[in-house]
Structure 1
Protein backbone atom coordinates (compact mmCIF):
# COMPACT_ATOMS: atom_id res chain seq x y z
CA UNK A 1 0.00 0.00 0.00
CA UNK A 2 2.21 2.80 -1.29
CA UNK A 3 -0.32 5.61 -0.88
CA UNK A 4 -0.65 5.07 2.88
CA UNK A 5 2.53 7.02 3.61
CA UNK A 6 1.30 9.85 1.40
CA UNK A 7 -2.14 9.96 3.04
CA UNK A 8 -0.82 9.81 6.58
CA UNK A 9 1.82 12.42 5.79
CA UNK A 10 -0.87 14.81 4.58
CA UNK A 11 -2.84 14.55 7.82
CA UNK A 12 -0.03 14.52 10.39
CA UNK A 13 -0.12 10.76 10.84
CA UNK A 14 -3.77 10.55 11.87
CA UNK A 15 -5.56 7.35 10.95
CA UNK A 16 -9.06 8.86 10.85
CA UNK A 17 -9.88 11.59 8.33
CA UNK A 18 -12.90 13.82 8.10
CA UNK A 19 -15.10 13.70 5.03
CA UNK A 20 -13.68 17.05 3.95
CA UNK A 21 -10.12 15.69 4.12
CA UNK A 22 -11.19 12.50 2.36
CA UNK A 23 -12.89 14.37 -0.47
CA UNK A 24 -9.81 16.56 -0.84
CA UNK A 25 -7.59 13.45 -1.10
CA UNK A 26 -9.87 12.13 -3.85
CA UNK A 27 -9.86 15.46 -5.68
CA UNK A 28 -13.59 16.02 -5.37
CA UNK A 29 -15.73 18.80 -3.98
CA UNK A 30 -17.27 18.23 -0.57
CA UNK A 31 -20.78 18.58 -2.01
CA UNK A 32 -19.97 15.86 -4.56
CA UNK A 33 -18.94 13.60 -1.69
CA UNK A 34 -22.25 14.26 0.09
CA UNK A 35 -24.15 13.59 -3.14
CA UNK A 36 -22.33 10.28 -3.58
CA UNK A 37 -22.99 9.31 0.03
CA UNK A 38 -26.69 9.99 -0.46
CA UNK A 39 -26.64 7.95 -3.69
CA UNK A 40 -24.68 5.12 -2.05
CA UNK A 41 -21.81 5.48 -4.53
CA UNK A 42 -19.04 7.02 -2.40
CA UNK A 43 -15.98 4.85 -3.07
CA UNK A 44 -14.58 4.85 0.47
CA UNK A 45 -16.17 3.13 3.49
CA UNK A 46 -17.35 5.78 5.96
CA UNK A 47 -18.71 5.77 9.47
CA UNK A 48 -20.33 8.37 11.66
CA UNK A 49 -18.30 9.87 14.48
CA UNK A 50 -20.91 11.89 16.30
CA UNK A 51 -22.54 13.93 13.56
CA UNK A 52 -19.58 13.81 11.17
CA UNK A 53 -18.59 11.30 8.52
CA UNK A 54 -15.05 9.92 8.88
CA UNK A 55 -12.90 7.51 6.89
CA UNK A 56 -9.92 5.34 7.70
CA UNK A 57 -6.65 6.43 6.08
CA UNK A 58 -5.94 2.81 5.10
CA UNK A 59 -9.17 2.62 3.09
CA UNK A 60 -8.34 5.87 1.30
CA UNK A 61 -4.82 4.64 0.53
CA UNK A 62 -6.15 1.31 -0.75
CA UNK A 63 -8.56 3.13 -3.08
CA UNK A 64 -5.82 5.47 -4.35
CA UNK A 65 -3.52 2.52 -5.00
CA UNK A 66 -6.30 0.75 -6.92
CA UNK A 67 -6.98 3.86 -9.03
CA UNK A 68 -3.25 4.15 -9.79
CA UNK A 69 -3.08 0.49 -10.83
CA UNK A 70 -6.10 0.88 -13.12
CA UNK A 71 -4.67 4.05 -14.66
CA UNK A 72 -1.31 2.37 -15.31
CA UNK A 73 -3.01 -0.62 -16.93
CA UNK A 74 -5.09 1.65 -19.18
CA UNK A 75 -1.98 3.66 -20.07
CA UNK A 76 0.02 0.53 -20.90
CA UNK A 77 -2.85 -0.82 -23.03
CA UNK A 78 -3.01 2.46 -24.93
CA UNK A 79 0.77 2.42 -25.51
CA UNK A 80 0.55 -1.15 -26.85
CA UNK A 81 -2.32 -0.19 -29.14
CA UNK A 82 -0.45 2.82 -30.51
CA UNK A 83 2.71 0.77 -31.03
CA UNK A 84 0.87 -1.86 -33.06
Structure 2
Protein backbone atom coordinates (compact mmCIF):
# COMPACT_ATOMS: atom_id res chain seq x y z
CA UNK A 1 0.00 0.00 0.00
CA UNK A 2 1.27 3.49 -0.76
CA UNK A 3 2.01 6.17 1.78
CA UNK A 4 -1.02 8.21 0.55
CA UNK A 5 -3.33 5.21 0.94
CA UNK A 6 -2.17 4.63 4.50
CA UNK A 7 -2.81 8.26 5.37
CA UNK A 8 -6.36 8.04 4.03
CA UNK A 9 -6.95 4.78 5.90
CA UNK A 10 -5.74 6.33 9.15
CA UNK A 11 -7.80 9.46 8.51
CA UNK A 12 -10.89 7.28 7.92
CA UNK A 13 -10.30 5.37 11.16
CA UNK A 14 -9.82 8.63 13.05
CA UNK A 15 -13.07 10.04 11.66
CA UNK A 16 -14.96 6.85 12.54
CA UNK A 17 -13.62 6.98 16.09
CA UNK A 18 -14.55 10.65 16.39
CA UNK A 19 -18.08 9.90 15.18
CA UNK A 20 -18.40 7.12 17.76
CA UNK A 21 -17.21 9.38 20.55
CA UNK A 22 -19.60 12.15 19.45
CA UNK A 23 -22.51 9.69 19.43
CA UNK A 24 -21.59 8.49 22.94
CA UNK A 25 -21.43 12.07 24.20
CA UNK A 26 -24.80 12.80 22.61
CA UNK A 27 -26.37 9.81 24.36
CA UNK A 28 -24.86 10.81 27.71
CA UNK A 29 -26.21 14.36 27.36
CA UNK A 30 -29.66 13.09 26.39
CA UNK A 31 -29.72 10.80 29.42
CA UNK A 32 -28.64 13.59 31.77
CA UNK A 33 -31.20 16.05 30.38
CA UNK A 34 -33.99 13.47 30.52
CA UNK A 35 -33.13 12.65 34.12
CA UNK A 36 -33.14 16.33 35.11
CA UNK A 37 -36.48 16.93 33.37
CA UNK A 38 -38.06 13.90 35.04
CA UNK A 39 -36.87 15.15 38.42
CA UNK A 40 -38.20 18.65 37.68
CA UNK A 41 -41.62 17.35 36.63
CA UNK A 42 -41.82 15.11 39.70
CA UNK A 43 -41.03 18.08 41.95
CA UNK A 44 -43.77 20.17 40.31
CA UNK A 45 -46.47 17.75 41.52
CA UNK A 46 -48.37 17.95 38.24
CA UNK A 47 -51.71 16.24 37.60
CA UNK A 48 -51.66 13.30 35.20
CA UNK A 49 -53.63 13.77 32.00
CA UNK A 50 -55.83 10.75 32.74
CA UNK A 51 -56.78 12.15 36.16
CA UNK A 52 -57.55 15.56 34.66
CA UNK A 53 -59.75 14.04 31.93
CA UNK A 54 -61.64 11.88 34.43
CA UNK A 55 -62.30 14.85 36.71
CA UNK A 56 -63.39 17.00 33.75
CA UNK A 57 -65.91 14.35 32.68
CA UNK A 58 -67.24 14.12 36.23
CA UNK A 59 -67.65 17.90 36.46
CA UNK A 60 -69.43 18.00 33.10
CA UNK A 61 -71.83 15.24 34.19
CA UNK A 62 -72.55 17.01 37.48
CA UNK A 63 -73.09 20.30 35.66
CA UNK A 64 -75.69 18.70 33.41
CA UNK A 65 -77.39 17.12 36.42
CA UNK A 66 -77.37 20.46 38.24
CA UNK A 67 -79.06 22.17 35.29
CA UNK A 68 -81.76 19.49 35.29
CA UNK A 69 -82.34 19.90 39.02
CA UNK A 70 -82.54 23.69 38.68
CA UNK A 71 -85.13 23.29 35.94
CA UNK A 72 -87.14 20.94 38.15
CA UNK A 73 -86.96 23.40 41.08
CA UNK A 74 -88.15 26.24 38.84
CA UNK A 75 -90.96 24.03 37.59
CA UNK A 76 -92.05 23.25 41.15
CA UNK A 77 -91.86 26.92 42.16
CA UNK A 78 -94.10 27.96 39.29
CA UNK A 79 -96.85 25.52 40.32
TM-score (norm. length: structure 1): 0.36
Query: Which of the two has higher C-alpha Rg?
Result: 2
Point out which structure has higher relative CO (alpha carbons under 8 A, 6+ apart): 1
TM-score (norm. length: structure 2): 0.38
Greater helix share, 1 or 2? 2
